[in-house]
Structure 1
Amino acid sequence: MYRDFANFIHTNKDLLLSRWMEEMTAQADPAILLVTSDLLYEDTSREFLDLIVANVLGSKDGSFNEKLDDFAQKVVDLGWSVHFVTKGLRNFGLIVYTEMKKQGVFNMANADDDAYYHFENWLSAMYSVVVNAYADSWEKTVSVQKTALQELSAPLLPIFDGISVMPLIGTIDTERAKLIMENLLIGVVKHRSDVVLIDITGVPIVDTMVAHHIIQASDAVRLVGCQAMLVGIRPEIAQTIVNLGIELDQVITTSTMKKGMEKALAMTHREIVEKEE
C-alpha cells in the first residue's frame, strides 16, 4: 500500500507540486517568501517530494539519510520555521489523498476508512522522519550559533602595552558572567595587562548580581597583578548602584571610555600629547 502512495506521488509529481506550492504560498509567512526566490522555493519543494518517494521506494545507493539531513539543514538555513514545515507536511498529505480519491486510486474493494487508515499511517511515519531530521539540524545550528555568540560576548582587546579593554554589550546573566570572568583572567595573563578597562556602556541594567560579578572579576584580576577599571557608568546606572547600596570602593570607576583610558595611561606612566606641526 505504501509503495502505491509513493508511485502515485512520483507519477503525479508536477500536478501535486503545483497545487502544494499554491497552497503553501497562500499560507506562508511573508518573511519566508521575501528571503526565498520563486525558483529556490520550487526547487526545495521538488526536492522534498523526491525525498518522500525515496523514503518509501528505498534509495538504491542507500544515501536517503544523508540527503534528508542535507535537506533539513537547507530548510533551517532558509529560516523556515518548524510550524511552517509541519503545516506543509499536513497540507501535502491532504492534497495527495484528495487527488488519489479523485483519480479513483482507492478501488471499491477497500473501504474509504481503511484506505485513509493506511494513508494516515504512511503520512505519520513520513512526518516523524522529516520533523526529527529538522529538529536535529536545528539543534546543531543553535549549538554552533551559541558557541559563536559566547566567543564574541566577552572579548578582551589589547589596546596598548599593558592596557586592555573588555567591552560588554547586552544583559549579563550567570552563565555569561562566568564566561566574562574566564576570558578576563586568561586575557590579562596572556596580554600581560597592568590595567583592564571593563566597559559597561552597552549593558542596559546593572543590578546586585551584575555588580557582584564585576567586583569578583576585579578581585580576581588583582590577584594576577592587574588593576580593573569600570568605565561607561551612566547617571541612571550610578543612581541604581547607590540605591542598591552596592560598594565599589575597590574598583576605579569613570563615566566614559575616554576618561578611563586617560587614567589607564597615567597609571602606566604615559599620556597622549598633541604633536606640534
Structure 2
Amino acid sequence: MNKFVQNYIQDHKGEILQCWVDKMKENADERVINVVSDQVFIRTSNEFIEVLISNITDSNEEFQSKLGDFAEKIIRLGWPLTFVNEGMKLFNIVVTEGMVREGVMTKENQLEIVLDFDEWITPLNNEIINVYTSTWERTVSLQRIALQELSAPLIPVFDGITVMPLIGTIDTERAKQIMENLLSGAVRHRSEVVLIDITGVPVVDTMVAHHIIQAAEAVRLVGAKCMLVGIRPEIAQTIVNLGINLDEIITKNTLKKGVEAALQITNKKIIEVTEE
C-alpha cells in the first residue's frame, strides 16, 4: 500500500471510525441498527476498523485469526453480508474523502493513490466476504445438526421404556431422522417398548402415517415393541377416513395410558409407598 495512505489510516483512526459509524447509521437498514445498542454498534464498528488496519500492520496469520473471530461475532449479532459489504465501500469513501481534505491526495498523485488503494482494498473485501460466507455456512450447518437432534429425541423414562415426543410437521427429511434416532436409541437404551408420542403433531396424513408404520416395523426388527400414543379424536378420524391400517401397532390416546401399558408389557408397576 502507498505509504501516504497507510500513514493516513493509522494516524486518523479515530476520525475515520467516527465518520464511518455516522455514514453506516445513515445508510444501514433500521432492522440492523435496532438489533444492537449504540454502545455495541460502536464497539463492533471499532473492531471492524481495527481488523481492516490489522491487514496493514499484522502478519497474515494474525490478520486471518482476527478476521475469523470478527466474522463469527457479526454473524451472532445478525449483521447481513450486504451490511458488511456496504461497510467496506463506506470505508473506502471515508478514507478517500479524508485524504483529499487533508491534502494527502492531490491532483498530481490522485491516480497513483487510487490505483494503489484499490489494489489493497479489493482483495481485502473479497477475503472478508469469503470468511463471512464460510463462517455463516458452518454456523448454519451446526444449527441444522442441532435442530435435527432436537427434532426427534428418544428419552428413556424407565428401564426398558423410552419415549419419542414429536412436535410440529413431519416431512420426509425429518421422518428419516426419526427413523435413525429410533433405531440407534432403541439399541443404545436396550428398549423393550418405544412410545412415539404424536400429541404435538398437527396433521397426520397418509405420508406421515406411512413413515410411522415404517418406524414401528423397524423398531420391531431390532427386538422392541412400538406404541403410538397421543392420538386425538380428529387424528383418529383422519386415520379412519384415509383407510390407514395401524393394526400392527399398539395405540393409546394419551402418553399416560401408553406408559401404563408399557409398564404392563415389561412386567413392571408403580407402587405408592406410604410412610409408617
Cα offset, 1:12, TM superposition: 1.8
8 Å contact 1:2–1:122 — kept in the other structure? no
CA distance in 2, matches of 1:133, 1:196: 45
Distance 2:97 2:203 in 1: 56
Q: Using structure 2 for the length normalisation, give the TM-score.
A: 0.86
Q: Which of these residues, 143, 150, 155, is aligned with residue 145 of structure 1?
A: 143
- Give 1:106's aligned residue: 105
* Bigger Cα displacement from structure 2, 189-198 vs 237-246: 237-246
Q: State the partner residue of 1:73.
A: 72
Please, which runs of 5 or more residues in structure 1 have no aligned partner? none
Q: Distance in 2 between matches of 1:19 and 1:205?
A: 55
* Equivalent pairs, count: 275
Contact 1:208 1:244 in 2 (8 A): yes
Q: Which of 186, 192, 197 is the matching residue for 1:199?
A: 197
What per-residue deviation string (whole Å, max 9, x for no partner) do you get for residues 99-125 of structure 1?
Answer: 33333333222567x765655554332
1:15-36 superposed Cα distances (whole Å, 9 cap, x missing partner): 1211211222344455544553
Are the equivalent residues in 2 in contact too, given 1:6–1:52 (CA < 8 A)? no
**AA in 1 matched with 2:86:** K
For structure 2, the residue ranges without an aligned partner over 5 or more in a row are none
2:216 corresponds to which letter in structure 1? S
1:238 match: 236
Q: Deviating runs (4+, > 6 A) in structure 1?
A: none
Deviates more, 1:125-134 or 1:144-153: 144-153
Determine the structure 2 residue equivalent to 1:229: 227
The 1:234–1:118 alpha-carbon spacing in structure 2 relative to 1, beyond 3 Å, is farther
Using a 3 Å threshold, how does the CA distance of structure 1 residues 19 and 224 change in structure 2: closer, same or farther?
same
**Aligned partners of 1:97 and 1:119 also within 8 Å:** no
TM-score (ref. length: structure 1): 0.86
- 1:41 paired with 2:41, answer yes
1:50 is aligned with what amino acid? E
1:258 is paired with a residue of what secondary structure? Answer: helix
CA distance in 2: counterparts of 1:172 and 1:3, whole angstroms:
61
Amino acid in the other structure paired with 1:230: L
Farther-moved stretch of structure 1 (57-66 vs 246-255): 57-66
Identity between Structure 1 and Structure 2 (%): 53
Query: What SS does structure 2 have at the residue aligned with 1:206?
Result: coil
